[in-house]
Structure 1
Amino acid sequence: MKTILIFNLDAPKTRSGLFLSALLGGLLPWLLLGCATPRGEPRPLRETTVWVVRHAEKTSAEAKDPPLSEQGQVRAEDLARRLKGEGVEVFLVSPTLRTQATAEPLARASGKELLSYAAKDYAGLRERILKEFRGKTVLVVGHSNTVLEILEALGAPRPLPALADEDYDYLFRVSLPEAGAATVKTVQYGAAHRQ
């Protein structure tokens, strides 16, 4: 049902009539234009993509905060090449040298800074991603004892029972739709540990 409004703009030219004519003459086209546009076009749903990876190989298990080994530095470059075309906009790393060094080549190439997160605050990490970075592509670099827990906190099913100490080549892509369940895809990158 359409409503049609009719105004007589040729009414007597009193002071209030002139004001009303000017007001309606200026606003009427805009009002009609607003009525003519399609209503309630649904806005596109924004999917958030979170890449989750364990840091690359480290130098020594005895050191409190070991840096990457030469092999780990190569893997960090492999990660940068693998994710180069994925549009990563946000880089979240735990406060350790090895996670920072793993993300650094891609962050540098993207002109982005590394942001820190508390390594075992899984709920806080999820909330931060959904609140601050919804609709973006995020890289989270964690540890062998946090990566699978991060996936679960994001609502994705655990794709493996555990990460072994030598598992450095797994990369997980979590899709977080605005509506619906999270999904995870497991890919490998760099030199394979399993032949």
Structure 2
Amino acid sequence: MRLIRSSIAGHLLRMLLLVALWSGVVWSAQAFAQEVTTVYLVRHAEKDGPGEDAGLTEPGKARARALAHVLADVKLSAIFVSSVQRTSLTAQPTREMTDPKLELLQRDTTKTAEEIQSTFKGKNVLVVGHSDSVGKIAEKLGADGIGTLPADAFDRLFVIHIDGEQVVLERLRYGAP
């Protein structure tokens, strides 16, 4: 009888230890996930004409909807767009699905990167920029190697994960090639 009680007590103790360890792992994973800032960085979709404030072509509108589909399950805290309508039109379907705060993308990419890292630390942010600003913003966030995008490159989606000093860059594509 004493042997059975000792065995049961041993099993209970091991079970409690496993539960405690599992709880610690889950808590650590949650704490890690809350500290990582994730920036989804894209160039605006295909523009309709050469004008400075051109809208989107039909393929551009389809790409904007594709971006919303890709980010449908992401809880965005903010969307950064420039003052020209093609960036806000690219972001519009995503904004309608997630309803985040809309921020104006500053010409000074350093200020934009600083705002993302301070105001939106631990959050998810979408930045819709231009062929010459996407690489600069990524670089200011610590992700090198993007540079200026080619004139016909509208399908690039860069996902930047920032965890303190560690920065991970993912290069993806979305919508039609």
User: Which whole-Å CA distance do the structure 1 matches of 2:96 and 2:81 have between them?
Assistant: 14
Mapping 1:25-104, distance limit 5 Å: 44-45=31-32, 46-61=35-50, 63-104=51-92
Q: What is the CA deviation profile of residues 66-85 of structure 1, one whole-angstrom value per residue up to 9, with x for unaligned ones?
A: 01111111100000001111
Q: Which residue of 1 aligns with 2:117?
A: 130
SS at match of 2:54: coil
Bigger Cα displacement from structure 2, 180-189 vs 107-116:
107-116
**TM-score, normalised with respect to structure 1:** 0.71
Measured after TM superposition, the shift of residue 111 of structure 1 is: 2.2
Give the superposed CA RMSD. Answer: 1.8
Q: How many residues align?
A: 148
Q: Which runs of 5+ in 1 are unaligned?
A: 1-40
- The percent identity for this pair of structures is 35
Measured after TM superposition, the shift of residue 161 of structure 1 is: 4.8
Q: What is the CA deviation profile of residues 41-61 of structure 1, one whole-angstrom value per residue up to 9, with x for unaligned ones?
A: 989340000000000000011
Bigger proportion of residues as strand: 2
SS at match of 1:185: strand
Mapping 1:5-16, distance limit 5 Å: none
User: Which whole-Å CA distance do the structure 1 matches of 2:64 and 2:48 have between them?
Assistant: 14
**TM-score, normalised with respect to structure 2:** 0.78
Bigger proportion of residues as helix: 2
Q: Which runs of 5+ in 2 are unaligned?
A: 1-26
1:105 is the counterpart of 2:93: yes
